[in-house]
């Protein structure tokens, strides 16, 4: 038995369980939707936060010792890349930092490019920021997604920023070095800033390797803001917080100057204690997690082939989130959603929320004990048989 096999009871304060009726119209679903895992946050992180909370005076603190070193050391060990600690800045969270970058480095009515399908807050935050959303549709190819290069290059010409999810969510695409370099070259030529969200980068599986965008070329290094966090990797998204990496000193002065001048990214001791502990003291846990998640992914893929052959998987090699392609069920998108909720009694994220190109998909979170995943596959297989025998 592994610690990842432990089933932990969670209350309705958890969004995953507390929003079931709001999201699915019923409590009678197994929730495998929102992107947190059903695993205990590593014990060293919890102990570090307890130490902070136990301080009798919760006053203004200096930056947590070693927070910059913990990030640079993590990137050296995981990706064999060097980070000058001057490149780093604490941010209140990746999504918040994306909004702040757009507000500080683009102008109202500027166009911002994203891929589609894409993590659903992206289009909303672009529009709410008063910018124009432009999307380039990814192509499904060989069980994953690929870039339509002609469409991307045509559309990026008019865009001031490219909001780049690397690895991609949904679908977990791990972008290779050639693709990253090509993106860097195209965006530099069109004077389009790359804002790279790399929050799932530490969760690559099956010998896949995430490559930090700033490291692929001089063009990339000069024209990017990379944003990440320990929160997804170590299952503490409720803690929030993260960090930015900006090698270009001029861009750093503009972005970090905006953050500091508006007091938008001050130190949070609890968040920094959690992050430092994660990167310095939880590497064995991280390796074991990736092994467990890989086996969960393989189990789902096997079950689809054996028991639900008309439902295929779309997975690019990163994260605990994969897509189930239900196109061949012969149902419309709303019928697919109803099938998973009412027949299979599974609470998954509908693909339609990720934009054009994902309407016939459902996003499945496999970050859970195997017993929960077995129950999910049994429910889906039963509903599939009943649908097939109508």
At 35-86, the pLDDT tens digits run 999 999 999 999 999 999 999 999 998 888 899 999 999 999 999 999 999 9
State percent of the chain over pLDDT 90.
Answer: 95
pLDDT class of 390 with cuts at 50, 70, 90: low
Give the tens place of pLDDT for each residue, 106-128. 999 999 999 999 999 999 999 99
Q: Contact at 8 Å (CB) between 200 and 234?
A: no
Please report, for the domain that includes residue 123, its CATH number. 3.40.640.10
Residues 187 and 240 in one domain: yes
pLDDT class of 260 with cuts at 50, 70, 90: very high
Res. 90: pLDDT tops 90: yes
Residues 121 and 164 in one domain: yes
Please report, for the domain that includes residue 326, its CATH number. 3.90.1150.10
Give the tens place of pLDDT for each residue, 342-385. 999 999 999 999 999 899 999 999 999 999 999 999 999 999 99
Residues 188 and 249 in one domain: yes
Q: State how many domains the chain has.
A: 2
Residues 26 and 80 in one domain: no
Residues 170 and 259 in one domain: yes
- Which of 281, 306, 322 delimits the end of a domain? 281
For residue 8, what are the domain limits? 3-40+284-388
Res. 261: pLDDT tops 90: yes
Average pLDDT across the chain, whole number: 96
Mean pLDDT within 291-302: 98
Give the tens place of pLDDT for each residue, 144-156. 999 999 999 999 9
Residues 143 and 177 in one domain: yes
Residues 209 and 341 in one domain: no
Mean pLDDT within 239-266: 96
pLDDT class of 244 with cuts at 50, 70, 90: very high
Give the tens place of pLDDT for each residue, 209-234. 999 999 999 999 999 999 999 999 99
Mean pLDDT within 179-187: 98
Mean pLDDT within 17-28: 96
- Which of 257, 281, 305 delimits the end of a domain? 281
Residues 255 and 362 in one domain: no
The predicted pLDDT at position 98 comes to 98
Residues 113 and 51 in one domain: yes
Residues 192 and 289 in one domain: no
Q: Which two tokens stand for residue 252?
A: 């750093």
Residues 233 and 179 in one domain: yes
58's CB contacts (< 8 A; 6+ apart) are none
Q: Contact at 8 Å (CB) between 94 and 197?
A: yes
77's CB contacts (< 8 A; 6+ apart) are 283
- Which of 244, 265, 281 delimits the end of a domain? 281
Residues 309 and 267 in one domain: no
């Amino acid at each position: 038995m592994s610690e990842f096999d432990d089933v932990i009871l969670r209350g309705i304060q958890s969004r995953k369980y507390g929003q079931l009726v709001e999201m699915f119209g019923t409590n009678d679903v197994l929730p495998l939707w929102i992107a947190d895992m059903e695993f205990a946050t590593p014990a060293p992180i919890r102990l570090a936060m307890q130490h902070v909370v136990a301080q009798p005076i919760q006053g203004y603190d200096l930056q947590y010792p070693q927070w910059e070193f913990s990030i640079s050391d993590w990137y050296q060990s995981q990706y064999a890349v060097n980070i000058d600690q001057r490149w780093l800045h604490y941010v209140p969270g990746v999504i918040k930092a994306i909004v702040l970058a757009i507000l500080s480095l683009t102008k109202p009515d500027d166009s911002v490019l994203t891929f589609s399908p894409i993590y659903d807050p992206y289009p909303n935050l672009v529009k709410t920021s008063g910018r124009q959303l432009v999307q380039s549709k990814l192509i499904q190819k060989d069980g994953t997604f690929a870039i339509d290069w002609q469409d991307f290059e045509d559309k990026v010409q008019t865009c001031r920023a490219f909001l780049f999810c690397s690895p991609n969510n949904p679908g977990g695409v791990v972008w290779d070095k050639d693709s990253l370099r090509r993106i860097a070259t195209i965006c530099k030529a069109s004077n389009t800033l790359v804002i790279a969200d790399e929050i799932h980068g530490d969760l690559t599986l099956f010998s896949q390797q995430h490559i930090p965008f700033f490291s692929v070329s001089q063009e990339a290094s000069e024209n990017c803001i990379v944003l990440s966090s320990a929160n997804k990797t170590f299952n503490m998204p409720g803690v929030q917080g993260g960090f930015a990496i900006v090698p270009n000193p001029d861009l750093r002065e503009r972005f970090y100057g905006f953050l500091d001048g508006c007091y938008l990214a001050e130190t949070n001791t609890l968040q920094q204690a959690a992050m430092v502990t994660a990167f310095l003291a939880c590497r064995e846990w991280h390796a074991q997690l990736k092994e467990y998640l890989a086996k969960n992914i393989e189990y789902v893929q096997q079950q689809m082939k054996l028991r639900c052959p008309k439902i295929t998987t779309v997975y690019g090699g990163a994260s605990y989130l994969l897509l189930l392609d239900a196109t061949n069920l012969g149902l419309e998108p709303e019928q697919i959603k109803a099938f998973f909720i009412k027949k299979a009694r599974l609470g998954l994220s509908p693909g339609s929320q990720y934009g054009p190109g994902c309407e016939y998909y459902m996003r499945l979170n496999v970050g859970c004990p195997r017993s929960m995943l077995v129950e999910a596959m049994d429910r889906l297989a039963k509903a599939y048989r009943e649908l097939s025998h109508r």
